[in-house]
Structure 1
Amino acid sequence: MPLEYWLDREPKQFSYFHRLMGYSMLSLGLLVYTFTTQTTHIQLYLPLIFAVVLFVSPRLEQWLKYRYNVQVQRNVLFLIDIAMVAAALSAVHLNLVLTLCTFAALIYSTINSRVSFFMMSLAGLWGVTIFYLANILVFGFGHYFAPTSTELTVLAFMCLIAYFAAGSVYQARRVYVASQKREHYYSQMNRYMEFANQLSRYAPQQLWQSIMKGETEAKIEYKRKKMTIFFSDIEGFTELSESLIPDDLAFVLNDYLSHMTEVAKQYEATVDKFMGDAILIFFGDPTTQGVEQDAKTCVEMAMAMRQQMKILRERWVKMGYPALHIRMGISTGYCHVGNYGAAHRMAYTIVGRDANLAARLQSAADVDEILISDDTYQFIKDDFLCAPKQPMELKGIQQPVKTWQVMEKTNARQTEYQRWFDYEYKGFHLLLNLDEVQNFEYPQLIAVLEKIIQRIQTQQTLINAQGVVRLHLEDEVISEVDILPQEGNSTLPH
């Protein structure tokens, strides 16, 4: 068989091939030694023993691996090799060149086989024992370290080089194959990660991260938990869809959904689904900070979305689109959350009365209003200022629902570290979001604000308290006024 065939085999099969090479070269050395020296021909029986060992070793390997383990298998075969080498060295009476070459090949094989230090020490004692037993029982004691013939020296070094070359080429080949497999697996892993990232966009971020970590299985199951549900939509979006072309409508919708989703991501909310312009979001699964904190975080997120919507509305108006507003409803209560559907197609969502209640509250909310249920209010009342509303009759809800309108955060103060500025007065509207301003843009903003202040101060000097523009003295027009004569005075001459 060609050498490449053996080089591409598994390590176990190449180990047998390498052993076959070593025994063949050792047998060849014994033959040349026998016919180039004046000695008996009893050494010629050793190659037959080598052939028997090679024939038995594959079956012995399987039995040892089945009965014990790979380490025991490797140690037993190593001891057999030591015994064969010791017998061969006894047969050549420690011929100098053959002994050196054999020891070099043996050390090389030991390193590649990853034999432990204890086994190497044991193998040394075992080899010495076999060597002396072979001398006593078979080959006798002769002249050791005798000079080596030229033919045997050349043959020994050629065999050693071939043995080293085969092992080195195989190791290099294994390294190359391993690197190719690693690159293949790495590219496949990147490919699957890219697919996973693309598929993750169709599921809540917390859910697919939990699945990727092995914490959650994709199977039909659900659980009952107390959660806070958020529902919102764009007021008048249906009428807007009839007046805009599909491309403009898609732009506005995607712009709105992307910004709202980014806000939800900042508050670690679970974005359940998009239903046209409506968004269903909940807090409490797969991760939760506690029912009370989940409710507070949800209301904070709603206020941030309302603030973000002001920015979007200003931008859309400048682009020629109508001014759009949102309505939001929030409810807190027990729901069933989990995977619903079939084994081959399922959806992660929530089911329960409070999920429907959040949708009904959103429908009943006014423009830019955050309407919450009484259960939600009980959790957030210490941190948010809320105005009570009349109990509402909502579709699908049997009893009137007590609701509250979220006004602002009670501890919200204008501090020097404030990130949002939204001030509106007659003829003046300042909307500033420092989170979207880069450091290098601060000087430009300061220059603009200074120009505004300077312009206001200039305008203040130009008008009086009644708002009438003041005129300079040189601009005053003085007209002649007839002075009527008074009693006792003569008439003025013309």
Structure 2
Amino acid sequence: MPFERNVNNKFVLESVYRFIAYLMLSFGVLLYYFPMPLHFQHYVVSIFSAAVFIAILCVFVLAKHKFTRHQIKQIVFVLDLCVVAAVLSAVHLSFVFSGLILASFWYLSTSFNKISFVGYSLGFLCAVMTFYISAFLFFGFENYFEDASIYLTIYSFICFAACFGVTNYFNKKALKNLTTTKDYYQDQMNRYIQFSNQLSRYAPLQLWQSIMRGDTQAKIDYKRKRMTVFFSDVIGFTQLAEKLIPDDLAFVLNDYLSHMAEIAKRYEGTLDKFIGDGMLIFFGDPQSRGVEQDAKHCIEMAIAMRQQMHVLRERWLKMGFPELHIRMGVSTGYCHVGNYGSDYRMSYTLIGHDVNLAARLQAAAHPDEILIADETYRLVKDEFVCVPKEPMQLKGLSEPIRTWQLIDKYTGIRSDLQQWFDYEYKGFHLLLNLDEVQHYEYQQLLDVLEQMRQRIQTQQDLTTEQGIARLDASDEVQDSDSKLSGFESDKV
């Protein structure tokens, strides 16, 4: 509606409000001199108010590009104060009318504007000058603080009530508009956050956060950094794809990738891409804790993935899926990392010798084995147990590469405080992670282990050292009777 649009337009609202206020002040001056004959000086306030109103409009329209909004507010405040001073001079500081004018002006100036100390000082100076000039030229200096007519007193209270009523109405209207605007921008922000969360799943988390902070720009750019690169692959997944229906294959793949991606996030690795059932993860960009710490985080992540693969494998076996194993390769060295592609479509990734080396180490690893390059070993050897391997002649590399098999993290913890148990033998597999067991579940685990121990003990009692089932007394008696009956039948 036009009225609603005008109310929402702050310039129009202030202009209408100021026009009405000037009109009421001018009428109050005329009422002050009623029923005396009116002369030219009695219309001075009306003429001056009209001139000031036009000047304010010109300031808003013509000077809005030269002054800031705050500066314009200071100028308008000074002009309004000059009009009030002229009115007070015209009514000779009539007690009721002047007091209500000053109270209303103070309320309006503090409600709608934030005036600086300089603005108040300049306004006070201009108001005093306007007051004395008006008194000297037109209204004189006599009859100050006299009681006005009953008509002016009633009019003063009516104007005062109208001022507060209209001000409260527009304040409520402005508050409602502000609330509506806030809700609108809140909804837009929520939509932006939802879109950001959805889009962030198609890019590495660290890259997305770096872009949001403004540390990284979406442009073709790269840099050379020393980084640790990780490759992993599921052994036999290609053959598995020929045996499973697409739904089961998708379930196994997503189950595996989701758990591994969560582990990569936990250790602050940058998940570059999924390559079928393989993963490329690197440490050192866009966030880095130093080359040595990046390498150690990568190794800890690889161990956690190997442990998680044990859990997934047992679950998949119970669901009827074939047994799957993982192999991993890690290398550390200088790589070029950044945005590659075109302005239309780019990819954040890394290239270099050590990227290829990590991929070759992964391909050469045995099931559930983690192979690391010699450079990585030098960075992590103080905290991890590694076994040297024979130098390998890897595809695409001219010289044999010295590699190490990562066993586990060296913690120095006594065996009675060990948190992770993984023991596998024919017909038996024990996988225990005490970090994930709640304290109230300890007794249940002890009961299960005791049942297993008793059952194994019973089986051992029923079996000889040669693995033959033992005969108890009843079995021996039955065996003797059968032999005797057989002897008698032969005799007959």
Q: TM class by shorter-chain length?
A: 0.7 to 0.9
Give, in whole Å, the separation in 2 of the partners of 1:158 and 1:260: 76
- Retained in 1: the 8 A contact 2:420–2:434? yes
TM-score by length of structure 1 reads 0.87
Q: Which residue of 2 aligns with 1:489?
A: none
Matched, 1:359 2:372: no
Q: Which residue of 2 aligns with 1:87?
A: 86
Deviates more, 1:26-35 or 1:435-444: 435-444
Q: Which residue of 2 aligns with 1:242?
A: 242
Q: Which residue of 1 aligns with 2:327?
A: 327
Summarize the Cα distance change of 1:329–1:118 in structure 2 as closer, same or farther, 3 Å threshold: closer
Q: Which residue of 2 aligns with 1:34?
A: 33
Q: In the alignment, residue 48 of structure 1 is paired with which amino acid?
A: I
Q: Which residue of 1 aligns with 2:104?
A: 105
Q: Which residue of 2 aligns with 1:420?
A: 420
Deviates more, 1:234-243 or 1:260-269: 260-269
What is the Cα deviation at residue 123 of structure 1? 4.0
Deviates more, 1:217-226 or 1:32-41: 32-41
- Retained in 1: the 8 A contact 2:52–2:83? no
What is the Cα deviation at residue 255 of structure 1? 0.8
Of all paired residues, the percent bearing the same amino acid is 52
- Retained in 2: the 8 A contact 1:329–1:361? yes
Secondary structure of the 1:396 match is: coil
- Retained in 2: the 8 A contact 1:36–1:149? no
Q: In the alignment, residue 31 of structure 1 is paired with which amino acid?
A: L
Give, in whole Å, the separation in 2 of the partners of 1:421 and 1:334: 37
Give, in whole Å, the separation in 2 of the partners of 1:330 and 1:43: 95
What is the Cα deviation at residue 225 of structure 1? 1.6
What is the Cα deviation at residue 420 of structure 1? 1.5
Alignment of 1:278-289 (within 5 A): 278-289=278-289
TM-score by length of structure 2 reads 0.87
What is the Cα deviation at residue 155 of structure 1? 2.7
Summarize the Cα distance change of 1:65–1:281 in structure 2 as closer, same or farther, 3 Å threshold: same
Any gaps of 5 or more consecutive residues in structure 2?
A: 482-492
Q: Which residue of 1 aligns with 2:48?
A: 49
How many equivalent residue pairs? 480
Secondary structure of the 2:33 match is: helix
- Retained in 2: the 8 A contact 1:229–1:281? yes
- Retained in 2: the 8 A contact 1:34–1:41? no
Residues 53-102 of structure 1: per-residue CA shift (max 9 Å, x gap): 21122224566655554444333332322222222222223333322321
Q: In the alignment, residue 144 of structure 2 is paired with which amino acid?
A: Y
Summarize the Cα distance change of 1:408–1:7 in structure 2 as closer, same or farther, 3 Å threshold: closer
Secondary structure of the 1:35 match is: coil
Alignment of 1:5-20 (within 5 A): 5-10=5-10, 12-20=11-19
Q: In the alignment, residue 179 of structure 1 is paired with which amino acid?
A: T
Secondary structure of the 1:334 match is: strand
Summarize the Cα distance change of 1:157–1:104 in structure 2 as closer, same or farther, 3 Å threshold: same
Q: Which residue of 1 aligns with 2:433?
A: 433
Matched, 1:391 2:377: no
Summarize the Cα distance change of 1:2–1:189 in structure 2 as closer, same or farther, 3 Å threshold: closer
Q: In the alignment, residue 16 of structure 1 is paired with which amino acid?
A: S
Q: In the alignment, residue 361 of structure 1 is paired with which amino acid?
A: L
Alignment of 1:72-83 (within 5 A): 72-83=71-82
Give, in whole Å, the separation in 2 of the partners of 1:398 and 1:336: 21
- Retained in 2: the 8 A contact 1:6–1:17? no
What is the Cα deviation at residue 131 of structure 1? 2.9
Residues 468-489 of structure 1: per-residue CA shift (max 9 Å, x gap): 77788899759999xxxxxxxx
Summarize the Cα distance change of 1:184–1:426 in structure 2 as closer, same or farther, 3 Å threshold: same
Residues 355-378 of structure 1: per-residue CA shift (max 9 Å, x gap): 112212222222222222233333
Q: In the alignment, residue 242 of structure 2 is paired with which amino acid?
A: E
Secondary structure of the 2:254 match is: helix
Matched, 1:166 2:136: no
What is the Cα deviation at residue 293 of structure 1? 3.1
What is the Cα deviation at residue 319 of structure 1? 0.4
Q: Which residue of 2 aligns with 1:300?
A: 300
Q: Say what the alpha-carbon RMSD is for the aligned residues.
A: 3.1
Any gaps of 5 or more consecutive residues in structure 1?
A: 482-494
Matched, 1:377 2:377: yes
Residues 136-164 of structure 1: per-residue CA shift (max 9 Å, x gap): 33212343344444433333322222222
- Retained in 2: the 8 A contact 1:64–1:72? no
What is the Cα deviation at residue 462 of structure 1? 6.7
What is the Cα deviation at residue 276 of structure 1? 0.7
Q: In the alignment, residue 178 of structure 2 is paired with which amino acid?
A: A
Summarize the Cα distance change of 1:192–1:71 in structure 2 as closer, same or farther, 3 Å threshold: closer
